[in-house]
Structure 1
């Protein structure tokens, strides 16, 4: 009620402002502005008044008790261009209610208990450009309903109960540019329904029980730029689904039940700039998923079930500026996760299960402005992980179980050094118990127990070629990352069957810090893992 009253006030003010003064002699419960715009509101109005100024060009009925729009209700008003019925009690509209309105360009019938429309209801509205029939109770769109409305450009039908449509209902609407069928009960689109709409640019099918599309459903929509399919029951995107929609710039698939994306499902969408597939059930991104999307600048995969980011999956997205991977189940990020994303400015990884991140993950992402890593399971970050990111303005790291020992020193220093340039969220220690609840930026060096613990360098251990003393070629290539318990896990790919000796040295002295692992007579395993315990 408050919203309708506010709408009434705003519309009244708009009419008043644009027409300056009222004309007397209007129907009761109506206001006339310069004699050409009429505003009628009040529950005492039970039918369309008969004494509307003959030269009226626009009329609006808001919150009246009109239940039926009779035949020829507006036949006398040949200059009418705009009629609006909003929040009335209209249950029926006679077939010839709008007869004689040869100059009408806009008609709205919204928020009424209207459940049906007869074929031919709009057949004399040959100049109609915009038709809005929203938030009523329409169930069926019969054949012939839109006959002769060939100049129609915008058709809004959202918020009804539509479950059935004549497959040829749009056959005369070759000039239609925008179609909204959202928030209805459409289970399946007839294969030829959209075929006549070659000039359509915007199509909204959100909030329907659509589960799949017959091959060819969208094939004639070569000029479509915006497609909204949110909140349906779609389970899979096939290669053929969007292949002919080469002008598409924005595609929204949020809140469906999508589990599978076919490889190259979007490969023909070379002009797509905005792709959102949030709140689905995607666990795996197949190779080639995003190939062909060279114009993409925004990608959102938040709220899915991703556990890993495949190597090079985003490699072709060299124009991508924003990627949202929030609310997934990602546990680890390898250096190869974001290869090719040199234009990226916003990276959102919050609300995952991240435990470890490799040190070079952001190495080529020098345009990053925002990094979001809050609400994960991070206990530490590699030294120098943010080095070279000179465009950063915001880093959120809060709500992680930070372990505040000597290994956190570099992160603490980085926070302190960048406090005036970068917006940083508050970091609080989770471990050890005596530092729990302390903010990291306020920690003193003596509290971090660095005198009794040497700090191994993650960065220097990132890639380690291990050579036999007698040959110049490496026997093993190793990579390392910190584990949750503070140790360093080193995974090595064996390139030659020789003895292997792994050791960690303090950079200031040649003495080993912990222990050396030696294994003779290897049987050429694919890889082996060493755990180095810092002492």
Structure 2
């Protein structure tokens, strides 16, 4: 049973004796009758962001101690006595104390009885450790710990000693813990016995350097997030120690170059994010060592200039499936650029001043599934290079300079989902989509399309979905025909003309048929196989089965 605090509190008396899976009283600040909470069995309770100190303090005293999940985020009624009383909830597996101005002294021995606690959030508190006792003793089952914005010093080797012996801890988040100038991270994990830690986040800490032994003690780490810091090079402390990494995020730093064989020891790395740095090129063997593992590489929003200087590094990445080089300064993609990445499935080249050539996708014609070519200043679709790609699922040409879609503008292009959003398109030829194999989904959101006449000549069920959100659609008899016939799959959009303003296109068929009574429209639907089935044919088909059934039934009666 799920109950929200916004429900009628007079009905809460009916809860007595029931088992409630989730009770949400977040930000209610109401005075609730305490008798209804006596021995109430709740699995998950949320009383976060409440300011009624006395009422909610007593609620915690009344409910049954079988509670397993408790959210006390920004609960201003918290005090040392309230926290101490939490110890009776020995079955807790999740606890959030985020944003309560807590410190180590207030916490005291709060967690001493939480032997089953798996997920603890202490973000936005003040936990700079200066005590000899350890308030985290007893959390032998803890697996996830959030310590974002807790004023923990990352340049003091003793800052994390309170985490010592959390041998089950798998995920640790230390984001936003440095508000001062740039820092150098010291060994924080050595001798803390954090043998199970596999995920660590150190985002937004103004980290400029790491000591070479900074990650000693957590060599088993698999996922590391160092985004939004001040790193100028890839830390040697990462590449020389953390050999088990599968995911490394170095986005939004100040890295300007990659050295030869930077990642040669990270032979298990699957995902590498170098987005929003200052890289303009990299040497031939920058990614040597990642050839059998790396599947996703994000180099977007750097200073890559294209040509031989960025392609050469890809030669060591035959396992690459996803490549993002969007928003750089790449003009030329040579005909041998992807020869060594024959399994590439997703390519994003958006936001580059590209000069299109016929063979620019050579090497990945049969593997590519998703292609993003947004914001490249395109005024005409480069048909020849796109026609070479044989197995596209998604083609995104949004945010370019196409103002109209002329006849056969995508002829020969093979894609199941085509995105043409945010381009001020106002005119579409009736033959615009001729030369494409259906069924397709087309997304034309945020343009200036007012008429649906471009659909009149299309083959039934050629479109499986047509999205026209945020277009100035005039709902006339053409729109009625499109909506009522069922020939065009799922059409999404709203009318703007006075009689139908705000009304969905799919609604006008049933409500306004009298306005187009002279229009000859056959209705039906598109089957899963893309075949159009008219209502008349369906009726005849059903009638045929009814006649057969009656004949068979009559024969059985005669025989008997």
TM-score w.r.t. the length of structure 1 is: 0.62
Offset, 1:152: 0.8
Q: For residues 346 and 267 of structure 2, what CA distance do their matches in structure 1 show?
A: 22
Offset, 1:85: 0.7
Q: For residues 399 and 99 of structure 1, what CA distance do their matches in structure 2 show?
A: 56
1:61 and 2:84 correspond: no
Offset, 1:88: 2.2
CA shift in 2, pair 1:71/1:350, >3 Å: closer
Equivalent residue runs for 1:278-293 within 5 Å: 278-293=326-341
* Cross-structure match for 1:106: 144
2:423 is paired with a residue whose SS is: coil
Equivalent residue runs for 1:492-507 within 5 Å: none
CA shift in 2, pair 1:94/1:337, >3 Å: farther
* Cross-structure match for 2:166: 125
Equivalent residue runs for 1:72-151 within 5 Å: 73=109, 76-77=112-113, 79=115, 81-82=117-118, 83-92=120-129, 94=131, 97=134, 100-101=137-138, 103=140, 104-116=142-154, 118-120=156-158, 121=161, 122-137=163-178, 139-147=183-191, 148-151=193-196
* Cross-structure match for 2:555: none
CA shift in 2, pair 1:20/1:424, >3 Å: closer
CA shift in 2, pair 1:50/1:62, >3 Å: same
* Cross-structure match for 1:248: 294
2:122 is paired with a residue whose SS is: strand
Counterpart pick for 2:362 among 289, 293, 315:
315
Q: For residues 168 and 29 of structure 1, what CA distance do their matches in structure 2 show?
A: 48
Offset, 1:166: 2.0
Q: For residues 305 and 236 of structure 1, what CA distance do their matches in structure 2 show?
A: 17
**TM-align CA RMSD:** 4.8
* Cross-structure match for 1:162: 207
Say how many residue pairs are matched: 411
Q: For residues 123 and 326 of structure 2, what CA distance do their matches in structure 1 show?
A: 34
Unaligned runs of 5+ in 2: 7-22, 29-39, 48-55, 480-560
Q: For residues 176 and 52 of structure 1, what CA distance do their matches in structure 2 show?
A: 33
Equivalent residue runs for 1:162-311 within 5 Å: 162-245=207-290, 246-260=292-306, 261-306=309-354, 308-311=355-358
Does structure 1 retain, via aligned residues, the 8 Å contact 2:43–2:69? no
Offset, 1:286: 3.5
Offset, 1:223: 1.6
Q: Say which structure is richer in helix.
A: 2
2:147 is paired with a residue whose SS is: strand
1:53 is paired with a residue whose SS is: helix
* Cross-structure match for 1:524: none
Does structure 2 retain, via aligned residues, the 8 Å contact 1:314–1:339? no
CA shift in 2, pair 1:297/1:97, >3 Å: same
Equivalent residue runs for 1:20-59 within 5 Å: 33-34=65-66, 42-43=75-76, 45=78, 49-50=83-84, 52-53=86-87, 55=90, 58=93, 59=95
Equivalent residue runs for 1:348-427 within 5 Å: 348-352=396-400, 364-370=412-418, 372=420, 375=423, 386-394=434-442, 396=444, 416-418=456-458, 421-422=462-463, 423=466
Q: For residues 252 and 16 of structure 1, what CA distance do their matches in structure 2 show?
A: 48
Q: For residues 253 and 352 of structure 1, what CA distance do their matches in structure 2 show?
A: 22
TM-score w.r.t. the length of structure 2 is: 0.60
Moved more, 111-120 or 121-130: 111-120
Q: For residues 380 and 94 of structure 1, what CA distance do their matches in structure 2 show?
A: 71
> Which of the two has higher C-alpha Rg?
1
CA shift in 2, pair 1:364/1:270, >3 Å: farther
* Cross-structure match for 1:18: 43
The Cα offsets for residues 36-85 of structure 1, whole Å up to 9 and x where unpaired, read as 76665644646694555274655442332223458974684472644331
Q: For residues 19 and 309 of structure 1, what CA distance do their matches in structure 2 show?
A: 56
* Cross-structure match for 1:448: none
CA shift in 2, pair 1:190/1:395, >3 Å: closer
CA shift in 2, pair 1:358/1:130, >3 Å: same
2:97 is paired with a residue whose SS is: strand
2:207 is paired with a residue whose SS is: coil
The Cα offsets for residues 257-281 of structure 1, whole Å up to 9 and x where unpaired, read as 3323522432333332222222222
CA shift in 2, pair 1:11/1:128, >3 Å: farther
Equivalent residue runs for 1:463-482 within 5 Å: none
Does structure 1 retain, via aligned residues, the 8 Å contact 2:420–2:445? yes
Q: For residues 362 and 404 of structure 2, what CA distance do their matches in structure 1 show?
A: 22
2:43 is paired with a residue whose SS is: helix
CA shift in 2, pair 1:377/1:109, >3 Å: closer
Offset, 1:200: 1.8
The Cα offsets for residues 93-130 of structure 1, whole Å up to 9 and x where unpaired, read as 54753564471433221233444464251332233222
Q: For residues 72 and 413 of structure 1, what CA distance do their matches in structure 2 show?
A: 72
Offset, 1:379: 10
* Cross-structure match for 1:345: 393
Offset, 1:314: 0.8
Does structure 2 retain, via aligned residues, the 8 Å contact 1:415–1:424? no
Unaligned runs of 5+ in 1: 402-411, 429-438, 443-535
Q: For residues 419 and 347 of structure 2, what CA distance do their matches in structure 1 show?
A: 15
Does structure 2 retain, via aligned residues, the 8 Å contact 1:141–1:164? yes
